[in-house]
Amino acid sequence: MLLEVHHLSVCYDTAMILNDLSLSVGEQELVSVAGPNGAGKTTMLRAISGLVRWEKEILRGSRYGDITIEGRVHFSGERIDQLPAHEIAERGLLLCPERRRPFREMTVIENLMAGAYLLKDKEAIKEHLLTVFRLFPVLKERSRQVSGTLSGGEQQMLAIGRALMSRPKLLCIDEPSTGLAPLLRKEVFQKISEVRDSGIPVLLVEQEVSTVFKMANRNYVLSSGKIIAEGTAQELLQDEVLRKTYLGL
């Protein structure tokens, strides 16, 4: 498998946020993770991408108390859980963060160039820029606009486009549909499956299971820091308890 997470646990001070979590993503796969608010979905992606470690490092000795991380993360056969976040990105694992977080003072094109930071070859940058513009034509139209003034939907496209600029081996996306109108959500999900079809596997955290489960190859359900179910849309949606209690369907 491309990404393998083994027995990952994260504690903030005394609160156990992730509890012995294991999951995997294969080449060509779109894998979704769903779960109620506060289940630990964002924390899981932050731990995989190295941000929890970064947080632990910069908060060392501060008033917020200790962060402990246990378990192993393998990516392309290499152990990455000891690496700093920027080296994990170098290996090709990119996270498109919760709340999109564009570099607000910079223009759309500058944001995309920031996403291309890992590339040194000008030709490759141009080529990837064209690919991103083909996927999100609106970014081309708005390329000189300061990204803080984009609409929510456009910002989400930008955040995904920025993460795609370095042509990652795995794209992780955290709740891309937050705050978007239903029609726009459909469009964003459509784009995400296009990304998978273009050969970039995706690990997608999303609450809107009715659409996402059908798109995804496999799904996990996370609750209180634990994986409580795993399977295809059919398998999971058959389970009445799961549907009612955790998925709100």
Ligand X SMILES: Nc1ncnc2c1ncn2[C@@H]1O[C@H](COP(=O)(O)OP(=O)(O)OP(=O)(O)O)[C@@H](O)[C@H]1O
Q: Where along the sequence are the contacts to ligand X (CB under 6 A)?
A: 12, 15, 17, 35, 37-43
Backbone angles phi, psi at 231, to 5 degrees: 160, -175
Radius of gyration in angstroms for the set of CA atoms belonging to the chain, rounded to a whole number: 18
Among candidates 147, 162, 138, which has minimal Cα distance to 107?
Answer: 147
CB of 163 to another protein, least distance (A): 8
- The entry of another protein, ligand X, Mg ion, none near residue 228 (CB within 5 to 8 angstroms by kind) is none
- The entry of Mg ion, another protein, ligand X, none near residue 3 (CB within 5 to 8 angstroms by kind) is none
Give the residue carrying structure tokens 């992606």: 45
- The entry of ligand X, another protein, Mg ion, none near residue 51 (CB within 5 to 8 angstroms by kind) is another protein
Angle formed at CA 75 by CA 74 and CA 76, multiple of 5 degrees: 120
Determine the Cα–Cα distance for residues 249 and 244; give it in Å rounded to an integer.
6
Which of 42, 107, 131, 193 is the binder for Mg ion (CB under 5 A)? 42
Question: 3-state DSSP call for residue 245?
Answer: helix
**Residues making contact with another protein (CB under 8 A):** 49-51, 54-55, 58-60, 62, 84-86, 89-90, 94-95, 97, 101, 103-106, 110, 113-115, 117-118, 162-163, 166
Residue with Cβ nearer another protein (90 or 141): 90
Residue with Cβ nearer Mg ion (42 or 217): 42
Residue nearest to Mg ion (CB): 42
Confirm if 3 and 77 have CB atoms less than 8 A apart.
Answer: no
Residue with Cβ nearer another protein (1 or 106): 106
Binding map of Mg ion across residues 81-110, x = CB under 5 A, - = no contact: -----------------x------------
- The entry of another protein, ligand X, Mg ion, none near residue 38 (CB within 5 to 8 angstroms by kind) is ligand X
Element containing residue 223 per DSSP (H, E): strand 218-223
224 touches Mg ion by CB under 5 A: no
CB of 101 to ligand X, least distance (A): 14
Determine the Cα–Cα distance for residues 58 and 153; give it in Å rounded to an integer.
32
Question: 3-state DSSP call for residue 249?
Answer: coil
**Tokens found for residue 87:** 């080296």
In Å, what is the CA distance from 167 to each residue of 36, 97, 118, 160?
31, 17, 10, 11
Exposed, middle or buried: residue 20 (CB in 10 Å: 0-12, 13-18, 19+)?
middle
207 touches Mg ion by CB under 5 A: no
CB of 54 to another protein, least distance (A): 6
Interacting residues with Mg ion (CB under 5 A):
42, 98
